[in-house]
Structure 1
Amino acid sequence: MATGKRSWMRRNRSTVILGIIIALFLFANYWSWPYVISGPGSAEPVHPRVETGYTLEEKGELLFTTVSTYSKPNLFSLIYAKFNPRMDIQTEQQATGGMTNMTAYRNLLSWMRDSSENYALLAAYTALDKPIEVEQQGVIVRYFSPGSLASANGLQEGDIIKHVDELEVLSVQELSTYLSKKKAGDIVEVTGTRGDAPFKASVPLIDMDQKGRIGIGFISDLVLKVTPPDPVKFDFNDVGGPSAGLMMTLEIVAQLSGEDLTRGYRIAGTGTIDADGTVGQIGGINYKLMAADKEKADYFLVPYDETSLDNWRLAEETVKKLNLDLKLVPVKNLTEAVDFLKKLESKA
């Protein structure tokens, strides 16, 4: 019998080997792995994505930049990224900062994008001394504090809290005031929105610190509704995160003031924006520089924070290492960015 099996194997060896190869190919191609691959994204004009009701012809372009991310890659993608010096591989835990799950991470990124649009409006209208309406609409969960029991009881990062025990809470102060009347171990019911859907969670309160503060245990931020006097529209639904804030703001300032800030150049950049115009640091600036270089950008606006020069140092290192053909411009705030652009001599 053994001889018969060996004979069958010899007769069908090619078929068996081919079958194994096909099986391995299918496994490598269709099996997904818990990693996230990052690489250069795009450098796209802001102008077509921002409408203010004012017409402005720009001779150059303001470019917002992105990082390309690919979650749950197959084996072929992992191997390619491993040997590509312009790509990086992280575990999902590393990429999301240890968040509850990828859904929570995406919800938080979506809010960050919406928030950056609101702060871009605030910064631009404030800089131009124009009136604008601001309304608080809830409290978002950024990430959980050590010792918090909220995640284990159904709350997620990116959740927007609007009610606690049926009481409307639209600001951090309202939430803190209500919880201060409770004690550690009390259960509160929080409701609000999770992405586009409602959510409800019953969460135990904890001692927040040695001062006796009681809370749910998370770092929060405000959810704002900003209403400008002009018919402003954004088209960034395919983008996540807050890093286009600076470039959005510059485009709004240009359109409202009627001044072409590009001076005929291709000006790329990145950075968050606060209501007062402060430019904040971001992640993946090396990939954004690669994207801007590919699109032949002349200048790149880099967030510059003297207390933490991470963005600036990585930008300088990337330009030198890859010999990128663009000029780096450090900017701390909106005023510096606008002043730099206004002082550029028009490109022939």
Structure 2
Amino acid sequence: MRIKSKIIAIITAFIIIIGLAWLVWPLDGYIESPGEADDLAQFVKIDGKRDNSKGRYNITSVYLSKAHGFSYLQTKLNPHLSYAKADDVTGGETSEVFNEVQNFYMQSAIANAEQVAFKKANKPITATYRGIYVLSVSDTSHFKKTIKVGDTITAVDGHHYENSDGFIKYLADKPKGVKVTVDYLRHGKSGHTSGTTIKLPSSKSAEYPKGRSGIGIVLTDNVAVSTPQKVTVDPGKIGGPSGGLMFTLQIYDQLTGDKLSKNRNISGTGTMNANGYVGEIGGIDKKIIAAKNSGSSVFFAPYIAPTKEILKYEEQHKTNYQLARDTAKKYAPHMKVIPVRTFQDAVDYLETGKVIQTTDSVS
């Protein structure tokens, strides 16, 4: 009996040691949690001056931390925490490349915000389109070994376009396996390569719901802007494209005399393209919590009409607006979640309270 008891004690101790070790053992992933809702007035200067109005526009963020066993267990208990595999967060890139891409995303978001804000304010602005900035290259791309993250593609088959849509449309209807040539810049030096088109999978794109042809890269526009009124933006350690809408509101309101915020604490999220359209982002449920913690009364959420095809790819199988609205109902019932398709939708709401029509009907 004593031997049996000793064996049981040894096994129990071994299990406890293994369990404790697992709790602190690093996992190949990240814990996503609500970040901050930072007042953009601290980041943005126009002609060297900060916004001193009583209202505020907040950029909301999601905090990433390296996962270990204990923090993974917390995601099972805390609805505001979630676990994501490292490759799903970084796209399989090194930390250095991932941070470089996130920084470029932010600079691109700021450039687009300036274009939209200055045009809306009827202020002069000059935009110089450099080309397509490469965010990632798929493993199935025939350019995998020749095109790198951080390159800027300037021409395809000798054609240069004034936005990424031109490049996409040029390739979209080509058959699979067609040879194309690509000109690019890398660290200021020009390069030239060739490969063949591939068939890209279906996505949330309304224009190409069944997929299209391409060269297998994830891209964004590389644009340089200049304005008579100097805009200086220092986002600190915040990266990514999701602050585009809120940067646009901050810059526009500063340019026009702080007429929109009306002393309100306003948060939101969404990408911004140069034509003023708002795009979806990730982690919006956590950004709702960040906005609530900052005391926001308004939250702008990107809106797209739900379809069966789109919902397949959506976080929790809800669109950004649906997930933000449902999260706010449960955890921030006094905060208004406002759907927006465009920058103008946000302006209309702040000026008049007008809200665009939405639907939960799935087509």
| Category of TM-score, reference length = shorter chain | 0.7 to 0.9
2:196 to 189, 199, 206: 206
Q: Is the 8 A contact 2:41 2:50 kept in 1?
A: no
Given the alignment of the two structures, is residue 82 of structure 1 paired with residue 76 of structure 2, yes or no? yes
Change (3 A) 1:110 1:301: same
What does residue 340 of structure 2 align with? Answer: 331
Q: Is the 8 A contact 1:203 1:216 kept in 2?
A: no
How far off its partner does 1:339 sit? Answer: 2.3
Q: Is the 8 A contact 1:105 1:158 kept in 2?
A: no
Deviation string 1:163-187 (CA, Å, 9 cap, x unpaired) is 99xx9x897679999xx9xx97899
**More deviation in 87-96 or 288-297?**
87-96
Matches for 1:1-348 after TM superposition, within 5 Å:
28-29=23-24, 31-53=25-47, 56-71=51-66, 73-96=67-90, 98-144=91-137, 147-151=140-144, 153=145, 155-161=147-153, 191-193=185-187, 205-208=195-198, 216-306=215-305, 310-343=319-352
Distance of 1:289 and 1:24 partners within structure 2: 34
Deviation string 1:76-130 (CA, Å, 9 cap, x unpaired) is 222223322110112122334x444444433322211111000000000111121
Change (3 A) 1:78 1:199: farther
How far off its partner does 1:157 sit? Answer: 3.7
Change (3 A) 1:40 1:55: closer
The one-letter code matched in structure 1 to 2:39 is P
Gaps of 5+ in 1: 1-5
Deviation string 1:179-223 (CA, Å, 9 cap, x unpaired) is x9xx97899895514xxxx899996512446xxxx9854243321
How far off its partner does 1:150 sit? Answer: 2.6
Change (3 A) 1:334 1:238: same
Gaps of 5+ in 2: 200-212, 308-317, 354-363
**More deviation in 134-143 or 83-92?**
134-143
**More deviation in 39-48 or 115-124?**
39-48
What does residue 3 of structure 1 align with? Answer: none
Q: Is the 8 A contact 1:49 1:235 kept in 2?
A: yes
Distance of 2:58 and 2:262 partners within structure 1: 14
Deviation string 1:275-300 (CA, Å, 9 cap, x unpaired) is 22222221111000001111111111
The one-letter code matched in structure 1 to 2:60 is T
**More deviation in 287-296 or 220-229?**
220-229
Report the 3-state secondary structure (helix = DSSP H, G, I; strand = E; otherwise coil) of the residue aligned with 1:205. strand
Q: Is the 8 A contact 2:153 2:182 kept in 1?
A: no
Q: How many residues align?
A: 313
Deviation string 1:109-165 (CA, Å, 9 cap, x unpaired) is 2211111000000000111121111112342123446741333x264444434699x
Bigger Rg, which one: 1
How far off its partner does 1:230 sit? Answer: 0.8
Distance of 2:319 and 2:167 partners within structure 1: 36
The alignment's TM-score, normalised by the length of structure 2, stands at 0.72
Report the 3-state secondary structure (helix = DSSP H, G, I; strand = E; otherwise coil) of the residue aligned with 1:33. strand
Q: RMSD between aligned alpha carbons?
A: 3.9
Q: Is the 8 A contact 1:100 1:156 kept in 2?
A: no
Change (3 A) 1:305 1:185: closer
Change (3 A) 1:220 1:65: closer
Distance of 2:232 and 2:191 partners within structure 1: 34
Distance of 1:99 and 1:86 partners within structure 2: 25
Change (3 A) 1:70 1:190: same
Distance of 1:199 and 1:84 partners within structure 2: 49
Q: Is the 8 A contact 1:162 1:192 kept in 2?
A: no
How far off its partner does 1:50 sit? Answer: 0.7
Distance of 1:135 and 1:161 partners within structure 2: 14
